[in-house]
Each structure stands twice: as structure tokens, then as C-alpha cells.
Amino acid sequence: MTDIAVWFESVTKSFGTVRAVNGLDLRIRVGETVALLGANGAGKSTTVNLLLGLFPPDGGRVRVLDSAPRQAVAQGRIGAMLQEGGLMPGVTVQALLGFARERYPDPLPLAEVLDQTGLTEVADRYVDRLSGGQTQRLRFALAIVGDPELLVLDEPTAAMDVESRRAFWVNMRAYAAKGRTVLFATHYLDEADENADRIVVVAEGGVVADGTPAEIKSAAGGRSVRFTVDGSGAGDLHLLPGVTSVEVRGRTATLHTADAERTVRALFASRDRVRDIEVTGADLEDAVLALTS
Ligand SMILES: Nc1ncnc2c1ncn2[C@@H]1O[C@H](COP(=O)(O)OP(=O)(O)OP(=O)(O)O)[C@@H](O)[C@H]1O
């Protein structure tokens, strides 16, 4: 028995000519809550699907809870909330959770799951009559009903409003606090920051950064300098001292810099006038942009 819950070793997976996962190395310890963070197409869902044994890797090895993924899933040791997949219509919330419970060797009590996921009030409602947020809660309930050792969530809060989202993370953290391992994929950088012990940033199918939220922010380092581009254009901005990347949207330029003071001084020296200048500390979004650009 090891204390590694999830182990990817040099894993690759291609779809036709697209290499969705490219030499991925990742180890997650038992009890960790890890966010997989990356842009569209970075390889998050493919990683999750490999972890669940939905298809085999082309190369490398995936181990979950000391087993092959399919075996761990078959034993009911992994709970998953995926992006798609319909719920059986024509049954009530309670009945569906009841069926699901029977598939597991040691499920949680039904009342506890309903209570924990805020579904008690709609227990008798047909699943096709639920709101979007309630449907997501039911998906979460189905993921935890078997009391799995590992919980895998692929963009779990998509389609939830602010209040449902907040409530969802409270529930997720309560589950993680029982010593369970959680891996969730997200686009929401603030959610990764607030709800994970560790953030793994993926781009083009590989890990580009891995650390605590604080470490990720400081690894990307630096600050952002934002201003309105005037007649001088934006062509030479990447040459300014300290600048690590340049983004221009409309008339607003954002410079990511490792040395804001030198960048700002050189910026003022290089043009007659600099309008609407704003210097901010790198937030997680800037950090991820800097790491993946
Ligand atoms: N079944 C498939 N067939 C063909 N290409 C695929 C398939 N699944 C994924 N891909 C491609 O693999 C790459 C990685 O996709 P993946 O869904 O893993 O990314 P993601 O990080 O989850 O993206 P998103 O945030 O948009 O869900 C993308 O270029 C995608 O188009």
C-alpha cells in the first residue's frame, strides 16, 4: 500500500493527430485536494478520462489507488462527476440515488447524502424536473454516494449560479475533510485558489506548473502593467526591460513583467505620454497566462 492515490507516469494519449496528453507525470497523495487548471483543450478531460479507465493510454502508465483504473472503478473506490452523461429520466432523486447505492459495497446512508448535497427538499421530484443547479447537485450526490476514496470532478460548477457554486464547494470540502482524495478540473482560477491544497497547471497535455496556490502565483512572479495604447503602437513593448509577455486587447495593453519599476520607467521614457497606467500584483489568472504562454 502506498500513500500515492493517483500516479501518471509519462502518459500519452492522441486522438488522430491531436496529442491531447503528452508525457504527463503526476502523483497525487492520499488526502490531497488537487485542482487541474488549464485553458480549453489543455488536456484536463482526457486526463480525467484516463484516470477513470474510460480508454487506455497510448504510452506510459496510469495507476489509481494501487490498482489499474478500471479495477478501482469497478470496486466502487472512485466517484466521478463528469461534464456530460444524462441522468435516467422518469425516476425520482431518491430512487436514482437508491439504485446507485446498491452498486457499492459500503455506501453512505441515503438521508446523509440528501442532506449533504442539499437535495432533501427535492428527494421526491423526478430528475428531469430539476433545475440546472439541482441537477449538478444530484450529479455530485451520485459521485459521493458510494463513499469513494477518490473523488474526480470535471468542471463541476459549470452551469451553477454563484450561490450554488458556493454551496457546492462547502460540500466538496466537507467530503475532502474526511481524508478523501479529490481531483477537480476547472477553468475558474479563483475556485482552484480557494478550494485546492495544490494546483497543477496543464498546457498542451503536460504539466507546466505544480504547487500550492501561493507557489503558483510566485512562480509566475511579477506584476502586470496595464495602460491605453496611443499612436506609438504596441510593436516594441516586448523589448522593454523585465517584460515577459505582452497582450493587446483593443486599445489596452497588458505587460507581464518581472521588474515593474524598470518596465514603467522605460515605458515612460519610450513614449510622449502614457495614459491610464495601472500596476497590479499578478493574480492567479496572470500567473497561469504567464506560465502557459
Ligand atoms: N474524443 C476525442 N476525439 C478527438 N479529439 C479529442 C477527443 N477528446 C479530446 N480531444 C482533443 O484533445 C485535446 C485536449 O482535450 P481535452 O478535452 O482533454 O481538454 P480540456 O483541457 O478538458 O478542455 P476544456 O477545458 O475545453 O474541456 C483537444 O485538442 C481536444 O480537441
The pLDDT of residue 38 is 86
φ/ψ of residue 43, rounded to 5: 115, 15
Q: Where are the beta strands (DSSP E) in 130-258?
A: 150-154, 181-186, 198-203, 206-211, 223-228, 243-249, 252-257
Level-2 CATH architecture, domain 219-291 = 2-Layer Sandwich (3.30)
CA of 179 to the centre of ligand 1 (A): 31
CA of 66 to the centre of ligand 1 (A): 27
Q: How confident is the model at residue 177 (pLDDT cuts 50, 70, 90)?
A: very high
- Going by CA atoms, what residue is nearest to atom 29 of ligand 1? 41
The pLDDT of residue 56 is 95
C-alpha dihedral, 123 to 48 to 181 to 92, nearest 10°: 10
CA of 192 to the centre of ligand 1 (A): 20
The pLDDT of residue 216 is 79
The pLDDT of residue 126 is 95
- pLDDT over 90 for what percent of the chain? 54
Topology at the third CATH level for domain 4-211? Rossmann fold (3.40.50)
Mean pLDDT (the chain, rounded): 89
- Going by CA atoms, what residue is nearest to atom 17 of ligand 1? 45
Q: Which is it for the CA torsion 92, 97, 100, 105, positive or negative?
A: negative
Q: Which three cell numbers stand for residue 245?
A: 509577455
Q: Which residues line ligand 1 (CB under 6 A)?
A: 15, 18, 20, 38, 40-46, 187
Q: Where are the beta strands (DSSP E) in 54-213?
A: 59-64, 78-81, 150-154, 181-186, 198-203, 206-211
- Going by CA atoms, what residue is nearest to atom 28 of ligand 1? 41
The pLDDT of residue 131 is 86
Q: How confident is the model at residue 232 (pLDDT cuts 50, 70, 90)?
A: low
**Ligand 1 mutation pick, 8, 40, 55, max ligand atoms within 8 A of CB:** 40
- Give the number of the atom of ligand 1 that is nearest the alpha carbon of residue 39: 25
Q: Distances in Å between the alpha carbon of 264 and those of 128, 225, 242, 274?
A: 56, 8, 10, 10
The pLDDT of residue 21 is 96
d(CA 222, CA 100): 49
The reply to whether 219-291 shares the fold of 4-211 is: no
Residue 175 has pLDDT above 60, yes or no: yes
CA of 270 to the centre of ligand 1 (A): 43
Question: What is the reported pTM?
Answer: 0.79
CA of 118 to the centre of ligand 1 (A): 32
- Going by CA atoms, what residue is nearest to atom 30 of ligand 1? 41
The string of pLDDT tens digits covering residues 18-40 is: 999 999 999 999 999 999 998 88
ipTM of the complex: 0.96
The string of pLDDT tens digits covering residues 182-225 is: 999 988 777 888 899 999 999 889 998 899 987 776 666 678 88
Instruction: Answer with the residue of higher pLDDT: 78 or 163.
Output: 78
CA of 15 to the centre of ligand 1 (A): 9
The pLDDT of residue 153 is 95
Exposed / middle / buried, residue 5 (Cβ in 10 Å: 0-12, 13-18, 19+)? buried
Q: Which three cell numbers stand for residue 160?
A: 451553477
- Going by CA atoms, what residue is nearest to atom 3 of ligand 1? 15
Once rounded to an integer, what is the mean pLDDT over residues 229-233? 72
Strands 243-249 and 181-186, by their bridges, are: unpaired
Task: Determine how many CB atoms are found less than 10 A away from the CB of residue 92.
Answer: 15
The pLDDT of residue 293 is 62
- Going by CA atoms, what residue is nearest to atom 1 of ligand 1? 15
Q: Which of 188, 212, 220 is nearest to 291 (CA)?
A: 220
Domain segments of the chain as ranges:
4-211, 219-291
- Going by CA atoms, what residue is nearest to atom 31 of ligand 1? 41
CB-based contact 50:13 (threshold 8 Å): yes
The string of pLDDT tens digits covering residues 128-170 is: 999 888 888 999 999 999 999 999 999 998 878 888 888 889 9
Q: How confident is the model at residue 290 (pLDDT cuts 50, 70, 90)?
A: low
Instruction: Answer with the residue of higher pLDDT: 62 or 276.
Output: 62
φ/ψ of residue 229, rounded to 5: -75, 130
